[in-house]
Amino acid sequence: MAESPREHVPHQPSSAVCFPLQMASATDSRYGQKESSDQNFDYMFKILIIGNSSVGKTSFLFRYADDSFTPAFVSTVGIDFKVKTIYRNEKRIKLQIWDTAGQERYRTITTAYYRGAMGFILMYDITNEESFNAVQDWSTQIKTYSWDNAQVLLVGNKCDMEDERVVASERGRQLAEHLGFEFFEASAKDNINVKQTFERLVDIICEKMSESLDTADPAVTGVKPGPQLTDQQAPPHQDCAC
Amino acid sequence: MTCELNLNFLKELERETVLQVLYRDQMVRKVDEERIRKLKMQLQQLQWKGTNSVSHEYQERSCARCQKSLGLVMNRGAVCNGCSHRVCSECRVCLNPYLWKCTICYAHGDMKVKTGEWFFEERAKKFPAEDRHETVGAKLLKSYQKLSKISVVPPTPPPFTETTGRNTAMEISQSKSFHKSVENLFLSLATNMKKISKSQNDMRADKSLLTTDYGQDMERRKERRSQSDTAIDAANRIKNIPTLQQLISGTWDDNEAFTKRYCKQAEDIPTSPMSDTVFCGGKKHGSLYSINSTCTEAGNFDTTNVTGEIEFAIRYVFKTCTLEVCIKACKNLTYGEEKEKKCNPYAKIYLLPDKSSRSKRKTAVRKNTVDPAFHETLKYKIEYSQLETRQLQISVWHSETLKRRVFLGEVVVPLSSWNFEDNSTQSFSWYQLKVKSGKPEDNLVQYNGELLVCAKLILPSQSKKCQYEEQMRGGREDQASADGQLHLVVLGAKNLPVMRCGGTLNSFVKGCLTLPDQHKIRQKSPVLKKEACPQWKHLFVFDGVTPSQLRQSCLDLAVWDQASFGSNDRFLGRARLSPKEPSGTWDSDPQSKCQWQKILSSPNTWIDITFTLHSDMDT
């Protein structure tokens, strides 16, 4: 047997074999009950991953949620999500991370999900110029369909493929700065900056959250809110480890 | 933008996939709603504690929260910059060395953060019209339900869906003797009148003439009867024979159901050495009954009139994953023994489709009353997500020592539509007791547990990339000629019907791939001894098959219990993956087709599948 069958432990991601992609959905709902029925968390954040087709959104998510990777490409049908609960800033935060299809034909569904997302991971492929050129358009989509405070992280994926790189790190960084996003280069395959990306996004959503509390709702507190905090904060840049 | 949003533009296969995601999302949402509901309750309690709510005027010089009086010099209190109320030092929560809030303001903020309300408020600044809490997923599901005009089927529902229509159609095709008209039917009824009076034995066999399925089924039943003496004994034990009047006045379905029940009785005796043969021949198998329940399940449903009501409440305790059924009382029950005016009622519940003893709970018996008070809470440990596929059956029975139990009525509650979040549904209500509903029960017995597998189609393909997309565009024939392998790992099974005492099985799995030319490739797993929830983790390899062949093939999996030396192995359940729509006796999972396509359309990818095992066996 070339690949050993997966341990039948429902919640634990398999590391021996890569069980990729969205087709696992049906069983997740029955066997992954922990993911859905566990109420033991403080916050729930919804995060959306967007970007051109085949830049590695699904792989990125699978690396983060299951710590698995498969080189085979299976196009995501419409939308999919995974749930992961993390412990951050002394809080248990349940992340519902939505993975979207990059293909144009699913656009009506995927853009509909923008409104429910608190943060975005906008992804391009450093070996694919076209995916990088599309970042501006994706950013416009976010501005159009999402709330004003939407937090976005620009991620250049596949940074393990240095030989085939066509988008220099610096260009990514400049574009991110221009758009007001934070920037990472990452690799789902080699597990570079994956966890860091999500954690940074969670942190900046947390920041937005406490800001929104500080300018609290007058209906509840009976006091006029102070001056709105401006969103002009220069994002710190995290450099890729490779 | 979202007003026209629906799933119409998707292909069928895609829609299935997206729907599965939406259902999973619905699950996550439900859990979150429950969490938020609890949070809100906690906040409410906190607010009630402090008598001075924000809107009320409060006494000068007293803490707005705890009402403690404040001094002019010492302990003066300070104004909360959240609500501008003066509070004492004990009613503050320090957020950082320079900032504090009063307890209520803090709780409000905490609440807003934890419920995600902060986000909705922020978002409302840009989209004021947006419904705060209805997510896209919920909208999509709603529009899908509206458009498709079909009821929502949870991801892998147990096979409740068999309809009378389909049944009849199937029987037409099966039974050559189905040419009898209604007149003939009455004719046979008339002949039966005499026979019924002859003996109880005849009664059982003859009654099947009253039903639609004469031909083969009839023969089968007779055959069964001759095979299994215990079955006849069981029939003999029937105390109350229904009167002819009842038979005639009963509706068609009732009659049929009635017959089936009697016949099932024959199958319900698991101890019969011949029962294995019986299983193979039959179409319906009531193999899941606990031995103790055999008498009640096969027993007297012929109560002429079911009367009365039952009062109960259902709730789900998320913390402990427990379903609680609190049975309070019954009123105005019919007498178990009409002549003697006797009634010793008790209530029994099952979490259908599981009809095994694991799913059975009973209350104590109350003596000599038709208005019993029970006040008993019966509990199930079950995952919330499982409830969608379950039905709660609550039946009331009359019990008398050394006599058969008498059915007094029942209520069946589908839990899929039960709102466990809503407080109002958790309170006690009265429900009208009903006669036994034959139909669903026949289907429900088919649930024989679940089988978990993962499958992968291996193609010796050069360009793995874009295969899927190519196929989506219809370029399927490209790889049609390539020889491939179908790999299938049988991971494990759970909720198998356990008959042996000690609750274990010596189970194994048989796999059979039937190619379009009816050529069969068979595989068998090793036997796992003494496991109730076996984990085979066994790999089946079906070699030398092309995707185009597979597209017309079907894969059957059957779980068997290896019998001890000398007797036949016992069939536990089967599942099928097939490219065809489920039809006929095959009450396949509606998803069977979809999953099969998934495997074929995602070569070199492991696909997880959970089958519901069925007890009917096609030979």
What's at B494, amino acid-wise? K
Alpha-carbon gap, residue A43 to B560, rounded angstroms: 46
Size of interface A-B (CB pairs under 8 A): 209
The tokens of B259 are what?
A: 């017959």
Confidence of residue B118 (pLDDT cuts 50, 70, 90): confident
Question: Is residue B169 predicted with pLDDT exceeding 70?
Answer: no
B7-32 pLDDT, tens digit each: 777 777 888 888 888 888 988 888 88
Of the two residues B362 and B570, the one the predictor is more confident about is: B362
Report yes or no: A126 and A166 within 8 Å, Cβ to Cβ: yes
**pLDDT over threshold 80, residue A145:** yes
Least Cα distance to B431 among B583, B313, B343 occurs for B313
User: φ and ψ at A195, to 5 degrees?
Assistant: -60, -40
Please, are residues A193 and A237 in contact by the beta-carbon 8 Å criterion?
A: no
Please return the burial class of A108, using the count of CB atoms within 10 Å of its CB with bins 0-12, 13-18 and 19+: middle
CB contacts, 8 Å: B421 with chain A: none
User: Averaging pLDDT over each range in A219-223, B11-15, B25-29, B235-239, which range is the top one?
Assistant: B25-29
Q: Is the pLDDT of residue A228 over 70?
A: no
Residue pair B429/B368 in contact (Cβ under 8 Å)? The answer is: no
Q: Which of A36, A145, A149 sits opposite B27 (nearest CB)?
A: A36
Closest CA of chain B from A116, distance in Å:
7
Residue B181 has pLDDT above 80, yes or no: no
Q: Other C-beta atoms within 10 Å of B432: how many?
A: 11
B80 against B155, higher pLDDT: B80
Task: Output the pLDDT for position A190.
Answer: 93
Q: With cut-offs at 50, 70 and 90, classify the pLDDT of residue A63.
A: very high
> Would you give the DSSP letter of residue B366?
P
Q: Each residue of B184-229: pLDDT tens digit?
A: 554 555 555 544 444 444 444 444 444 444 444 444 444 444 444 4
Three-state secondary structure of B428-454: CEEEECECCCHHHHHHHCCCCCEEEEE
B248-264: average pLDDT: 41
**B394: helix, coil or strand?**
strand
Does a cis peptide bond (omega within 30 degrees of 0) precede residue B372? no
Q: Are strands A43-51 and A119-125 parallel, antiparallel or unpaired?
A: parallel
Q: What would the DSSP string read from start to end of B529-556?
A: EEESS----EEEEEEEE-HHHHTT-EEE
Average pLDDT value for residue range B543-570: 79
Question: What pLDDT is stored for residue A189 in this prediction?
Answer: 93
Does residue B253 have a pLDDT over 60?
A: no
Which residues 6+ apart lie within 8 Å of B177 measured at CB? B214, B215
Residues of chain B neighbouring A96 (CB-CB closer than 8 A): 25, 28
User: Shortest CB distance from A8 goes to which of B125, B472, B535?
Assistant: B535
- Shortest distance, CA A193 to any CA of chain B (angstroms): 25
Q: Which amino acid, residue B298?
A: A
pLDDT for res B47? 66
Answer whether 0.80 is exceeded by the pTM: no
Instruction: Please determine, for residue B537, whether its predicted confidence score (pLDDT) is greater than 80.
Output: yes
Distance from CA of B157 to the nearest CA of A (A): 11
Q: For residue A12, is pLDDT > 70? A: no
Point out the residue among A7, A26, A221 whose CB comes nearest to the CB of B20: A26
Query: Taking CB atoms and an 8 Å cutoff, what residues of chain A touch B114?
Result: 42-43
Across the interface, of A8, A33, A75, the residue whose CB is closest to B492 is: A8
Question: Minimum mean pLDDT among A89-103, B9-23, B225-239, B337-351: which range?
Answer: B225-239
Could you give the CA distance from residue B379 to residue B456 in angstroms, rounded to a whole number? 40
Query: Does the structure show a pLDDT above 50 at B377?
Result: yes
- CA-nearest residue to A225 within chain B is B82
Give per-residue pLDDT as tens, B470-490: 444 444 444 445 578 888 888
Long-range contacts of the stretch A192-197 (C-beta < 8 A, 24+): A192/A159, A192/A160, A192/A240, A192/A241, A192/A242, A193/A155, A193/A159, A193/A238, A193/A240, A193/A241, A194/A60, A194/A63, A194/A64, A195/A64, A196/A238, A197/A60, A197/A121, A197/A153, A197/A155
Q: What share of chain A in percent tops pLDDT 70?
A: 73
* CB atoms A33 and B384 under 8 Å: yes
> Which pLDDT value is given to residue B359?
81
Q: What is the ipTM of this complex?
A: 0.75
Q: What pLDDT does residue B461 have?
A: 55
Greater pLDDT, B532 or A146: A146
Q: Give chain B's mean pLDDT.
A: 68
Q: B446: which 2 tokens? A: 């088919």
pLDDT at A58: 93
pLDDT of residue B447: 65
User: Given a cut of 60, is residue A54 above it in pLDDT?
Assistant: yes
Residue B336 Rama label (left phi>0; alpha psi -120 to 50; beta): alpha
Q: Which pLDDT score, from 0 to 100, does residue A114 have?
A: 92
Considering only CB atoms, A96 lies closest to which of B28, B84, B384, namely B28
- Between these two residues, B168 and A42, which has the higher pLDDT value? A42
Q: Which residues of A touch B127 (CB under 8 A)?
A: 115, 147
Reported as a pLDDT band with limits 50, 70 and 90, residue A198 is very high
Higher pLDDT, B532 or B316: B316
